[in-house]
Amino acid sequence: MPNARDPATELHHALLSRLKLRQLALLQTIDHHRSLGRVAAEMQLSQPAITKALHEIEDIFGNALFVRSSRGLVPTPAGDAVLHYARRWLAELEATTRVLTSIGAGRSGRLRLGLTQQVPQQLMSAALTHLLDRTPRISVVVREGTTDELVANVLAREIDCAIGRSYDGDAGGLVQQAIYEQEPCLVVGAPNVKRLSRGPLDWARLAKLDWILPPPNTPMRRTYNAVFVGAGVQPPLPILETTSLRSIETVLRQEPNAVTIFARDVMEEMERGSGWAALPYRLNWNLPPVSFFTLEDLDAHPTVQALRQVVVATAQRMKRRSA
């Protein structure tokens, strides 16, 4: 009786024996351009050569990976699956080259950290001081973004860990730990505090002001929208959507009715050198907690573990002081 064939085993063997990293890079380039002509131009090859290379890759995987459409080449379901892992493998390769380069330069390794704009200064200082004062030293890369962007970066293995807001989306393999609660406050240009704080807290009146809000589909924006809806008010259409502190400060200085929401401790850290100030209202809710993110398979890495311990200990000291 002939042995039963296991398609998964055969595909695994084909990938190990035939697949090359440059073929994964080609798939990523095709996905980026969605045109074999543009891929050929970028790689300085003929279009037939690119077509032949794609067919060879599809033969290895045993599936069509792209189909033609009115929008150019689009991935098939099999193509989406392969591209997901191709991005991960190539990101891991790039990270490995950077770590090896750091080791070659006398460092003990490399860590890539993501931060949101409203991470408290004490947490940021503690994290960076810990990383930069290590012996032997390591190379540190810092990337700023919204929580959603940083979570996507962690999942794509473009960064190793991040400090941001708690994340409520679907993210398999993500480990997050809430470490610090922050009180929100309404922030306006300093000359406008007296005029804009007349009367009791009224979300209907506030909704008519010129709002600066985070981009849509971020934890902060979802929280703010829920606050307005809970008060029976339609969430305002912002005049500016950003997390850039410089942009926020510029608009608060220039627009007499501009308003935004900040973590109170972060606002107080920046208030002295800025042109903004908090309205004298206490809001009866908290921002999504500041959280530490990494991947399950990096969670026990000594460098990531030590950083998290420092950040958590710093947050606990901050809580005790604020209490």
Q: Quick one: average pLDDT of 277-289?
A: 91
Taking 80 as the threshold, does the pLDDT of residue 109 lie above it?
no
Nearest of 197, 217, 221 to residue 209 by alpha carbon: 197
DSSP H helical ranges for 133-188: 147-155
Q: Quick one: average pLDDT of 18-45?
A: 89
DSSP-assigned beta bridge partners for residue 111: 140
**Residue 70, token pair as written in the block:** 């009115």
pLDDT at 1: 45
pLDDT at 3: 59
Q: Quick one: average pLDDT of 172-176?
A: 91
Show the domains of the chain with their CATH numbers.
Answer: 7-86 (1.10.10.10), 107-181+289-322 (3.40.190.10), 184-278 (3.40.190.290)
pLDDT at 185: 95
Q: Quick one: average pLDDT of 159-169?
A: 91
Distance of alpha carbon 307 from its chain centroid, rounded? 18
Which has more confidence, 47 or 135?
Answer: 47
**Residue 297, token pair as written in the block:** 């398979």
Q: Quick one: average pLDDT of 16-40?
A: 89
pLDDT at 18: 87
Q: Quick one: average pLDDT of 154-172?
A: 90
Q: Which CA distances in Å does 300 have to 66, 159, 236? A: 38, 16, 43
